[in-house]
Amino acid sequence: MTEPLFATKLPETDDGTILFSVPFPAELNAETLAALKAMAPIILKQPYAIDYIHSYGQDSPFFAGLANGRLLGSIAPATGYTYATPRGHDMATGQETDWVDLTRRPAAVHAFTVCYFGSEEFLPECPYVLALIEFAGADTLFLGRLLGLDPHAPTVDWIGMRVGLRFRRNSKFKPTDVYFYPLGAKEE
């Protein structure tokens, strides 16, 4: 007898999820089939990963700036309205905005909160301080992490505090590539 041209069985591997000793009746009949309705659900925990490809589109210069130690905002050419968080178009006129460098502008804490819980990426850092940063000449605020302060001892004295900005050495091309720290008297 010759082997068929195509395999009639799927290859068996030991990768992925394997569950041993699954309770199931040895014989199937009307009674055992009816009893399956009362069977406890099988619950599995398994890792799930996906490669997600997306584009930053018109915000690509913002992320390229972060990777190169620059914080870019947007400015509406007609009105001069400056967005600390980049926008492709002015909210009032709909006009396309231009890029503006905020990196060396004086910055201060406008408001802050202490986060005691965060997404999976930030759980190891909890609690951490998240602050709205006000840049000189910008009309909107920038949201970022504020490091170098004790999140267990927050104080309203932090509001108005001058801050500097730093960038991750190895960019992850995320908004968290930039973070803020309190400026000392010598740094101001």
Count of structural domains within the chain: 1
Q: Residue range 22-29: average pLDDT?
A: 86
User: Does 2 reside within a domain?
Assistant: no
* Predicted confidence (pLDDT) at residue 168 exceeds the cutoff of 60: yes
Query: Is residue 49 included in any domain, yes or no?
Result: no
Give this prediction's pTM: 0.72
Asked whether residue 145 carries a pLDDT value surpassing 90, the answer given is yes
- Please determine, for residue 125, whether its predicted confidence score (pLDDT) is greater than 70: yes
Q: Is the pLDDT score of 18 beyond 90?
A: no
Residue-wise pLDDT for 69-96, tens only, equals 999 999 999 999 999 999 999 999 999 9
User: pLDDT tens digit string along 93-123?
Assistant: 999 999 999 999 999 999 999 999 888 777 7
Mean pLDDT on 22-40: 87
3-state secondary structure labels for all residues of the chain: CCCCCCCCCCCCCCCCCCCCCCCCCCCCCHHHHHHHHHCCCCCCCCCCCCCCCCCCHHHHHHHHHHHCCCCEEEECCCCCCEECCCCCECCCCCCECEEEECCCCCEEEEEEEEECCCCCCCHHHCCEEEEEEEECCCCCEEEEEECCCCCCCCCHHHCCCEEEEEECCCCCCCHHHEEEEECCCCCC
> Within a domain: residue 159?
yes
Instruction: Name the pLDDT band for 182 (thresholds 50, 70, 90).
Output: very high
Residue 24: the pLDDT is: 84
Q: State the pLDDT at residue 124.
A: 81
Q: Judge whether 102 lies within some domain.
A: yes
Domain assignment present for 132:
yes
Query: Does any domain span residue 9?
Result: no
- Average pLDDT across the chain, whole number: 89
Could you tell me if residue 187 is inside a domain? no
Where in the sequence is the domain holding 82, given as residue range(s)?
60-182
In a domain, 27, yes or no: no
